[in-house]
Amino acid sequence: MAVGDAGLQEEHLDVLTQTGQKTGDVHRDGDYHRAVHVWIYAENTQELLLQRRADCKDSWPGFWDISSAGHISTGDSSLITARRELQEELGVILPKDAFEKIFVYLEECVTNDGTFINNEFSDVYLVTTLDPIPLEAFTLQEIEVSAVKYISYKEYRSLLAKEDPEYVPYDVNGKYGQLFDIIERRYTENNVARCLTLQNQLRRYAPVSLDPELTGFSEADKEALALLIKAATIMDEIFHQQVWYSNPDLRAWLKEHMNATDIDKLKWAYYLINKSPWSCLDENEAFLTTADSAIKLLPDATRAVTGWKGLEYKAAFPMLKPPGANFYPPDMDKMEFELWKSSLTDSQKQDATGFFNVIKRHSEFNLDSSIYNKTLDDTEKLVQSTNDLYIVPFSEEYNSFLAKAAKLLHKAGDLSSSPSLKRFLHSRADAFLSNDYYDSDIAWMKLDSKLDVTIGPYETYEDTLFGYKATFEAFIGVRDDKATAQVELFGDNLQVLEQNLPLDNMYKSKDVIAAPIRVINLLYNAGDVKGPQTVAFNLPNDERIVKDHGTSMVMLKNVSEAKFKHILQPIADECITKEQQELVDFDSFFTHTICHECCHGIGPHSIVLPNGEKSTVRLELQELHSALEEAKADIVGLWALRYLIDQMHSLKRHEQALKQVQTNRLTTAERKDLLPKSLLKSMYVSFLAGCFRSVRFGLEEAHGKGQALQFNWLYEKGAFILHSDEKFSVDFTKVEGAVESLSREILTIQAKGDKEAANLLLQKYCKLTEPLNIALGKLENVQVPVDIVPSFPIANRILE
């Protein structure tokens, strides 16, 4: 639609529905459209900047209003518009990390005797400066702004509440009151109370020292280890950037000031666990605000003023964790992405939805170029494109980091005495620079080394917008050869399990590949290892490799032991009936963890849709995939263990079991010892206790969400029982049927790529129901840790 103020060029705006969805760009009086509001707040004086609207404006001429505002033109994005409006109206040039989107405001009003109908969705941004900007530093756009002034936010709120005739009205008792509430909370919070909150949040993590022996390591191996630990720290640098673009500045600021006060120490300690300002155990609720963030100086942000060093602002981050992290433009929504993707070639679509690329805006690049490099040559380089979005490979986006990591991996590879580790390190170093991880992922799967290394981009949990993009991480450990030999039974029998899955045969794969399993004791991790610590992982996630080569599993035994000791056993003591408490043991906990990881490798991955089109479960389920996949691995893991135990101990089918269920290195007696019949009951009760452990991670986290689904399903089916003393038990007569029915439900949804069914299932069962709240309340009262926070003495000595 086209709108315009007197003397201004006509603007074309996107027309929206009443719920904020785009419908087109055709003008009708009263159509819903988009705008931005930008407020500049001076922290030290607690004042907001207001502009006086020019007398020629169609609406509210001569009234005091928002610092800066404007419509979002058709094809433009919210954040680019906010930056451009601030520059055009006030002459203030700021980068994107100065803008914090705090809420969306819908204004529906009629003014000018019914001639001006304003139905407007406004993205409201807050820019926090340290001090007020000198008024003479502004360059006012006269046809928009006639004057500016600072005013106490409390006084301004009072004037709006009184409907002062000199000010554009806003309902401060309604949604727009959030602006003032946010400022109030940030700058009037009691530090004693805040310290107590942070202490309680930290108390949920049990400190654990992981210090495995390096028996059998040569001096060359130890030199390689030191290089690998240094490379792992680079994965940390990349991951912090992947979380949010101002996150590295926040991290550096908190570290620099960690010893300033008691609260600064607590902020830094809790940040180290979460690796961001959002708390993993609190549904990603922010425990820091932009007020806690880094102060950055921009000498050239405005017109120069004698004696003033320039504009100092706080590096901003939103209170709500961005679903797309830093993989996509912060103001991009799903609709924009899908419309853009539909214009791409098949190859480009694969890159757009692939693991190892980020999505950026041409308009952001062009705006930054025009602002910061104003020479003609640079202007000529500005990108012209009909599509605003474009693809940047990880190898380019993180090149400065990956080039350093590649050198370290090559040096470590040269030192390594293990041929398979040497091959992996060199190929992974090459992948960092080529962005092609296929060969190095296969080399990782074939790793056979005492020094075990996983390093690179793998998991997609951070991308909750689509679940497409991988984060960088590193795990370095010492292989436990005895435990590795013992668990081969599971990886060797994936095809047997696949063929017997509770799933229609038409969906089963006939070529599942045995999955190698390595058991290690962790000595260092980095990158995407925030919050709750993983006890195992099954990689790679690349569906091409899974189809052709299967997957490989790594079990972190010392992490599992620490979690069982500090968390699962105390949970069982508190929440499981006395009669069944003795059934909770480490062997059943660890064995189910193994089976969980194995079951990531079976079931649907590459699928054929009802229309005959080939796809993958990940692409079809998008942001729902991670939670459903974790639930699948858990519940099918229970089913698989029961199946293997039945096969192993059935007298009638003993000969068949020996043919079907076999491994190259274990005798029949050893196989039976590994899967005794007594494990069945222990497995179910340990799983029940484990439900309470994982749900405490929060329902925004994939494992917590998946666990809530499983618990509530099994409770509904009568497999789990809540007794009058508020303790739980397993009904062994019902649990097998409940496990099988949920396994079938999830596997079928995945096989069909049915996102609607997945959404309905998660909506119904991913809830904190009364039984779960009872259990969580008991654990909170006795302060059972939610998870562990590891320290790594070996790595710390190397990095000192």
Domain range summary for the chain, segments of one domain joined by +:
2-187, 560-784
User: What is the DSSP-derived secondary structure letter of residue 280?
Assistant: G
Q: Show Cβ contacts of residue 677 under 8 Å, excluding neighbours closer than 6 positions.
A: 645, 649
Residues 500/508, Cβ–Cβ less than 8 Å: no
Q: Which two tokens stand for residue 782?
A: 């006795």
pLDDT of residue 586: 93
Residues 428/443, Cβ–Cβ less than 8 Å: yes
Cα–Cα distance between 653 and 644 in angstroms, integer? 12
Cα–Cα distance between 537 and 598 in angstroms, integer? 9
pLDDT of residue 797: 93
Residue positions counted in the chain: 800
Q: Which two tokens stand for residue 18?
A: 């009443």
Q: Which two tokens stand for residue 387?
A: 């599509």
- Give the residue from 544, 553, 539 showing the smallest Cα distance to 590: 553
Q: What are phi and psi of 554, to 5 degrees?
A: -125, 125
Q: C-alpha angle 477/480/481, rounded to 5°? A: 135
Map residue 762 onto helix, strand or coil. Answer: helix
Residues 660/496, Cβ–Cβ less than 8 Å: yes
Q: Show Cβ contacts of residue 143 under 8 Å, excluding neighbours closer than 6 positions.
A: 5, 7, 8, 54, 56
Give the pTM: 0.85
- Residue 665, Cβ neighbours under 10 Å: how many? 11
Is residue 777 within a helix (H) or strand (E), and if so which, with residue range? Answer: helix 770-782
**Residue that has been written with the tokens 């004693």 in this structure:** 192
Map residue 176 onto helix, strand or coil. Answer: coil
Taking each continuous run of H as one helix and of E as one strand, the counts in the chain are 33, 28
Chain-centre distance for alpha carbon 163? 43
Mean pLDDT of successive 10-residue segments in the chain (800 residues)? Answer: 42 54 46 90 98 92 96 90 96 97 82 62 96 98 97 97 96 93 93 96 97 91 97 98 98 98 97 98 95 96 96 97 97 94 96 97 87 48 67 98 98 96 98 98 96 97 96 97 82 86 93 86 98 93 88 94 95 96 93 88 91 92 94 95 84 48 47 73 95 88 91 97 96 97 97 96 96 93 94 93
User: What is the DSSP-derived secondary structure letter of residue 524?
Assistant: E
- Give the residue from 281, 251, 320 showing the smallest Cα distance to 102: 320
Residues 122/36, Cβ–Cβ less than 8 Å: yes
Residues 334/352, Cβ–Cβ less than 8 Å: no
Cα–Cα distance between 300 and 400 in angstroms, integer? 27
pLDDT of residue 159: 97
User: Which of 163-171's residues contact partners 24+ apart within 8 Å by CB, and which partners?
Assistant: 166/63, 166/64, 167/50, 167/63, 167/64, 167/65, 168/53, 168/60, 168/63, 168/64, 168/65, 168/66
Cα–Cα distance between 358 and 242 in angstroms, integer? 9
Q: Which two tokens stand for residue 225?
A: 């280890």
Q: Show Cβ contacts of residue 513 under 8 Å, excluding neighbours closer than 6 positions.
A: 494, 495, 549, 550, 601
Map residue 121 onto helix, strand or coil. Answer: strand
Q: What are phi and psi of 20, to 5 degrees?
A: 95, 10
- Give the residue from 310, 311, 316, 261 showing the smallest Cα distance to 286: 316
Residues 359/327, Cβ–Cβ less than 8 Å: yes
Using CA atoms of 63, 64, 68, 73 in order, give the dihedral in degrees to the nearest 10: -20
Cα–Cα distance between 188 and 184 in angstroms, integer? 6
Q: Which two tokens stand for residue 452?
A: 């075990």
CATH of range 2-187; options 3.90.79.10, 3.40.50.2000, 3.10.290.10, 3.30.70.270: 3.90.79.10
Q: Show Cβ contacts of residue 225 under 8 Å, excluding neighbours closer than 6 positions.
A: 214, 217, 412, 451, 476, 798
AA letter at 311: L
Map residue 367 onto helix, strand or coil. Answer: helix
